[in-house]
Structure 1
Amino acid sequence: MKSKTLKASVMAGLVGLSFVTAANAQLEGIEEAKSGWNSFYFAGYKMKGADVGFDTDGKVDIIPIGKNRERMTTNYFIPLKYEIRDVAADGKVTVKKIDVDSLTSESKPTAKPDKILVKGKTEEGDTTFELYYEVARGNVLVGGRIVEKGALANPKFAITIVMPKVYEKAPDDEKAFKKRIADDFLQVKLLDGKKAKVEADEEFDITSAEFTGTGVSQVEFLIDELGAREFTLTASPGSKITAANKQGSPFYNGLNFTWEADPTADASKARLAIGVK
């Protein structure tokens, strides 16, 4: 099994492909020399503003394309993780590790996306699950569901997205820095249709009612340091996004998003759409 430490030094994209007859024993890496993807990734998809890589450990890297039209370095990656969470009676949530060696797919490693279905189980409790990936209209759609709960008490499926902390060293010239981030913004659309927006230098609490309400259907953000790309995360009907940040801190200091399907919805159809331009 390949090292994730080595994976952090490469870039790639995420992809889907129509199913073939025999499932792989373990997810393999792309071996196409001219594909532009490293073999640590099972699939790869290139957008205008980012490459999205699904790696052989069942994780996703959103890799921004910089202003020079080249992939940015690993500290600017936006990681996305499929998570199996066991929820105890007291509400305590424990994330269970995915058994990487159990991951199988009837799709082959590819850089020509369509649809991908990956099956696997947890290391503890033998909870089985499905991971979904599709490409539609230039967006990457991800999702998943619990198939069999196994020995876990109350397993739930979720996807987490971590926006990295940027501008680690602001320039000494505060005026120049303010000018640089003048176009940076974060905007959310709540499930009830209301919108809330914050500029880069504003301190705010994304967990407040103004920004979360009963849940978020869409998140948009632009950060100059991330190639001045506009990222969009959109929850399909029957799902929602929740968010967290360091209260009283500008959003470019990092945000965590969690996507989940509504318990009453068909999880096999719920998706989180990733768009970058």
Structure 2
Amino acid sequence: MHLSSPAIVLSVRPHGEHGAIVRALTPRDGVQPGYVRGGRSRAIRPVLQPANAILGEWRARTDVQLAALTVELVHSRAPLFDEALPAAALEWLTALTATLLPEAQPYPQIYAALDAVVDAVEAAPSARGWAGSIARYELLLLAELGFGLALEECVVTGAREHLAFVSPKSGGAVSRAAASGYEARLLALPAFLQAGGEAGWNEVFAGLAITRHFLERDLLTGRAAEVLAARGRLVERLQRAVA
């Protein structure tokens, strides 16, 4: 097994006295684990920061053996971890991706989306510029893993206009007219989840409420639910930024 590819670092776990086991997302070969010799050294540790863009080279004698991984830094996002909000965003994005994606399965859309949202966190002058993209990324993960929401038309009437809610049971959109009298049982659907574009803070939090509900129900169960603590820290810091 020999693979050379650009990748985004997702997680790093110490192994032995000096090494580290790294999981990184590649464009064509999905999540790839590898053992980095000296991964805990002062020279290599900054390269293995989650969210960093690297060029990785994985080598193993067999497909079932943990590959030896050598890394070259392409772009460091380490400075973002000195700021509370960007740090919380990158921690959540990488932890969620590492938790949900199976190894060695190609997810080119997820790679492109993660790369884009991490770039947005790095480039935007405030969280307002990237917070909505977190919800859209979570929505993509749900879809790619078989739990996509049906937001194109009303699940009750088939109408494509005035979609204002999401059913927490079916994951389908509900029009304002069809929701009459049942609004309290439904999740508010912000327009940016369908059409993209900018979102106000109320819309951002509404979008995050939708994706959290379905992530918790369908994907983050059992031990995987532990990763939700990182999401809680992110949302708490976003709420503080608005207050």
Whether TM-score is above 0.5 comes out as no
More strand, by proportion: 1
TM-score (ref. length: structure 1): 0.24
TM-score (ref. length: structure 2): 0.27
More helix, by proportion: 2
